[in-house]
Amino acid sequence: MNINWFKYSSPQTFYPLAGRMIPWFAGLATLFALAGLYVSFAIAPTDFQQGEAYRIIFVHVPAAWMSMFIYIV
């Protein structure tokens, strides 16, 4: 099976493909986000000194990265 990947460098052929892939990528992103939240809040052990309070880093750090990314874009 020989696929010509260069044809997808044209917006006329890439946009229809990207439009069909949006639901798949959204589903994968949702699945990975839910899995990450489950692991961070249910499976990760508590910290020795801070206890449950350290779990805020599982939400705060990604939110901080996303806010910095907004300034770049």
Q: Is residue 2 part of a domain?
A: no
Q: Is residue 14 part of a domain?
A: yes
Give the model's pLDDT for residue 20.
95
- Mean pLDDT value of segment 6-15: 90
Give the model's pLDDT for residue 29.
94
Q: Is residue 15 part of a domain?
A: yes
**pTM over cut 0.85:** no
Q: Is residue 8 very low, low, confident or very high in pLDDT (cuts 50, 70, 90)?
A: confident
Q: Is residue 4 part of a domain?
A: no
Dihedral sign, CA of 35, 41, 47, 50?
Answer: positive
Q: Is residue 3 part of a domain?
A: no
Produce one character per residue of 16-41: b if its CB has 16 or more CB atoms within 10 Å, e if not: eeeeeeeeeeeeeeeeeeeeeeeeee
Domain count, the chain: 1
Q: Tens digits of per-residue pLDDT, 12-66?
A: 999 999 999 999 999 999 999 999 989 988 998 988 898 888 888 888 998 999 9
d(C-alpha 62, C-alpha 50), whole Å: 20
Cα 70 to its chain centre, rounded Å, is 15
Length, in residues, of the chain: 73
The residue segments making up the domain with residue 34 are: 9-72
Q: Is residue 17 part of a domain?
A: yes
Q: Is residue 30 part of a domain?
A: yes
